[in-house]
């Protein structure tokens, strides 16, 4: 898994611009013996034969897109007005470096220096729709040579391992999930298994909707990053999960009540294999599992997540040990027949 992680995180791929990450994944699985193809939404769907066949169709899913920004206007001074792609907290945007997908041009999100702010402005964060990106152009004509309305950017690639076995980077949500699936595809499987690398999760799980209707799986295991609460100022009662405490199993979130039987199976497998795990103990967020649960004839769903600090920011933080726990649990669950 770790062989692929930095490469995937460094790729620019906000929702709607997942071509490069998809091609990187294809390059990494093309010699695995798996069958694969792309649908009109840009989802990459993979089938890998195992030693045995199941009576039920089992799908492992992760999304390829990341949060980002899209240019909506270029003003006379050469600044780029933009809006967010996906759920981005405006407090983590101002002053950040960004890189444009189309041109590779760098920019910085402009902010007024504190000594130029009025007393009323200090301590407040302006809406993203009022922020601007500075690419070093002095007028609209110059800026328009490099960027046009509709161009997209993400936080600048910044993958780094630090501290006691931690990783910080943009796009760990959900490039880590993609890396786990690629490692599974390149391994020997006990059972025939489907895999989906989906587009546009951050803007409504649109890719998963298409995959659910196309494949009609019976069982779906979504691999995701989920918000960790072990940071300053969050009481234990509201700490959904903690970095370093293992793979996260969700009972319920804002879009899904997870299948009880699958959840019990995951807990039993984790305990049997001595894989570190934890419950997500706050009802918050959501992921592709909710879409799969309601697509076509419906599916039984499970989410296995890695706890992430500062999710949807320039520096998500994950534990390597937690990611390995997610990978181990996903692989162990896939050894079950699901009869």
Domain ranges of the chain: 2-66+170-333, 68-155
What pLDDT band is residue 274 in, cutting at 50, 70 and 90?
Answer: very high
Ramachandran bin of 198, using left for φ above 0, alpha for ψ from -120 to 50, beta for the remaining angles = beta
pLDDT of 208 above 90: yes
Question: Could you tell me the two tokens for 194?
Answer: 């489907």
* pLDDT band with cut points at 50, 70 and 90 for residue 324: very high
The closest alpha carbon to 47, from 63, 56, 62, 58, belongs to: 58
Q: Which of 23, 121, 126, 201 is catalytic?
A: 201
129 or 182: whose pLDDT is higher? Answer: 182
Q: What is the tens place of the pLDDT at every residue in 120-170? A: 777 778 889 889 999 999 999 999 999 999 999 999 999 999 999 999 999
Per-residue DSSP letter, 66: B
Residue range 198-220: mean pLDDT, rounded? 95
Q: Note the pLDDT of residue 179.
A: 98
Q: Which residues contact 71 (CB under 8 A, 6 or more apart)?
A: 80, 81, 82, 133, 147, 148, 149, 150, 151, 152, 153
Which has the higher per-residue pLDDT, 136 or 284? 136
SS3 content of the chain, % helix, strand, coil (to 5): 30, 30, 45
**Beta pairing, strands 300-308 & 247-250:** antiparallel
Bridge pairing between strands 316-319 and 166-169: antiparallel
Mean pLDDT value of segment 19-43: 97
Q: Is 201 a catalytic residue?
A: yes
Q: Enumerate the H helices of 118-205 as residue ranges.
A: 140-144, 172-185
List of residues 6+ apart from 2 with CB closer than 8 A: 179, 320, 323
For domain 2-66+170-333, give the fold: Aminopeptidase (3.40.630)
- CATH no. for 68-155: 2.40.30.40
Confidence band, pLDDT 50/70/90 cuts, at residue 106: very high
At 16 the pLDDT is: 96
Structure confidence at residue 200 as a pLDDT band (50, 70, 90)? very high
CA distance 17 to 102: 10
Nearest-angstrom CA–CA distance, 308 and 144: 37
Distance CA 178, CA 192 (A): 19
- Hey, do 2-66+170-333 and 68-155 end up sharing a CATH topology, with the first three levels equal? no
- Tokens describing residue 38: 């792309």
Structure tokens at 45: 């769907």
Cα dist from 7 to 38, 75, 170, whole Å: 21, 35, 12
Give the pLDDT confidence score for residue 279 in this predicted structure: 94
Instruction: Compute CA distances 252 → 37, 132, 219, 279, 328, whole Å.
Output: 32, 38, 17, 10, 22
Angle at 232 between CA 231 and CA 234, to 5 degrees: 75
The two structure tokens encoding residue 254:
């804002």
């Amino acid at each position: 898994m770790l062989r692929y992680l930095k490469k995937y995180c460094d790729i620019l791929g906000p929702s709607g611009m997942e071509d490069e990450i998809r091609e990187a994944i294809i390059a990494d699985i093309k010699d695995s013996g798996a069958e694969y193809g792309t649908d009109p939404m840009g989802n990459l769907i993979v089938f890998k034969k195992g030693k045995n066949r199941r009576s039920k169709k089992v799908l492992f899913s992760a999304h390829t897109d990341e949060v980002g920004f899209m240019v909506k206007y270029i003003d006379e001074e050469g600044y780029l007005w933009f809006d967010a792609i996906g759920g981005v907290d405006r407090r983590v945007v101002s002053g950040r470096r960004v890189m444009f997908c189309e041109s590779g041009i760098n920019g910085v999100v402009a902010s007024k220096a504190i000594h130029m702010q009025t007393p009323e402005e200090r301590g407040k964060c302006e809406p993203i729709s009022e922020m601007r990106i500075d690419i070093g152009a002095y007028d609209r004509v110059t800026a328009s040579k490099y960027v046009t309305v509709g161009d997209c950017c993400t936080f600048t690639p910044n993958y780094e391992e630090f501290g006691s076995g931690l990783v910080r980077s943009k796009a760990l949500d959900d490039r880590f999930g993609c890396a786990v699936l690629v490692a599974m595809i390149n391994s020997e499987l006990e059972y025939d298994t489907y895999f989906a690398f989906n587009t546009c999760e951050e803007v409504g799980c649109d890719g998963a909707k298409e995959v659910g209707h196309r494949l009609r799986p019976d069982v779906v295991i979504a691999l995701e990053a989920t918000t960790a609460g072990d940071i300053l100022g969050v009481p234990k009662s509201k700490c959904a999960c903690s970095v370093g405490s293992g793979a996260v199993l969700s009972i319920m979130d804002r879009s899904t009540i997870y299948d009880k039987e699958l959840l019990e199976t995951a807990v039993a497998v984790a305990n049997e294999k001595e894989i570190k795990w934890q419950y997500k103990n706050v009802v918050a967020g959501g992921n592709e599992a909710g879409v799969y649960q309601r697509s076509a004839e419906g599916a039984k769903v499970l989410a296995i997540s890695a706890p992430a600090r500062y999710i949807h920011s320039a520096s998500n933080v994950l534990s390597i040990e937690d990611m390995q726990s997610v990978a181990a649990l996903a692989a162990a669950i896939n050894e079950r027949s699901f009869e």
